[in-house]
Structure 1
Amino acid sequence: MDSMDKFWEFISIDPYEDQRGMLKKIVMKSQLQNSDELGEVYLLYSNPNSVRGNHYHKKSFEYFTVIGGRAKIALKGFHQDISEEFYITADDNIILKVPPFTIHAFKNEGPNQLIILAISSKEYSPADTDTYISEIL
């Protein structure tokens, strides 16, 4: 798939490092231009061999970055026939931006817990989950 055909995007993180350690800015207001607000921020803790996601949203933009471990990620545009799979670790210094109608799933194939920081433009509500199951991983 040509990079012009991507339905998702990577946002590079440029960590600031000094003798104290490292600072990584995860989401800045300028990156939220496609959504009106920030709905919620949460951490996903995934045990070995577990899969999360396998769904899409009609209204929500989501941003994901790996904090610990290695994530196998599968993405598929709602009206596309082919899904893409790749791996992301914290050392990659990237944020994955997933727009509405993008099926997404994360698998922990490693021996330790996978930790992902997730940011959503819409706060979860049991009355309107905006979550539609579609298994790709």
Structure 2
Amino acid sequence: MTSRVQVEKLRRATDARGQVFEPLDAAGLADQRNIHVVLTGPGHIRGNHFHTRGTEVTAVAGPAHVRYRESGETVHLDIPADEVWRFTFPPGIVHAFQNTGTADLVIVSFNSIAHDPQDPDTTREVIL
């Protein structure tokens, strides 16, 4: 099976102040209609949904556990501490993120569909 989900380790710059990473380049940013930043406490889970129309691009700063299901196959990935990974989830791919660290997990997500509370693009499905 050829995966429609893209998984990429991002480059980050670090110094005594912390870290910086660019979740999207200019070309990737041009396609986006929504951005949201999520801080998730230790042990907690975000996601557990899929998008019906939009493609979601998500950068996750580890440590975290990521789970997604594509074509009936469930994929489990662990992002190490001090790494940032980017995921591109096309419509229909269930995905979830769990904070496996001791501080807030940082997730930056973009979607190709504008957020509309009256017509949500997400369908809940628990996978993690």
TM-score relative to the length of structure 2: 0.82
Identity of paired residues, percent?
A: 26
Shift of the alpha carbon at 1:119? 1.1
Structure number with greater Rg is: 1
Give the equivalent residue in structure 2 for 1:26.
23
CA change 1:30–1:105 in 2 (3 A) is: same
Deviations 1:13-54 (A, max 9, x none): 345689x9875332124346xxx8311112111011111111
CA change 1:37–1:90 in 2 (3 A) is: farther
TM-score relative to the length of structure 1: 0.77
Match for 1:106 among 87, 97, 118? Answer: 97
Q: In the comparison of the two structures, how many residue pairs are matched?
A: 128
Give the equivalent residue in structure 1 for 2:65.
72
More strand by share: 2
Shift of the alpha carbon at 1:66? 2.1
- C-alpha RMSD over aligned residues: 2.6
Separation in 2, partners of 1:37, 1:110: 32
Any gaps of 5 or more consecutive residues in structure 1?
none
Give the equivalent residue in structure 2 for 1:8.
5
Any gaps of 5 or more consecutive residues in structure 2?
none
SS where residue 73 of structure 2 aligns? coil
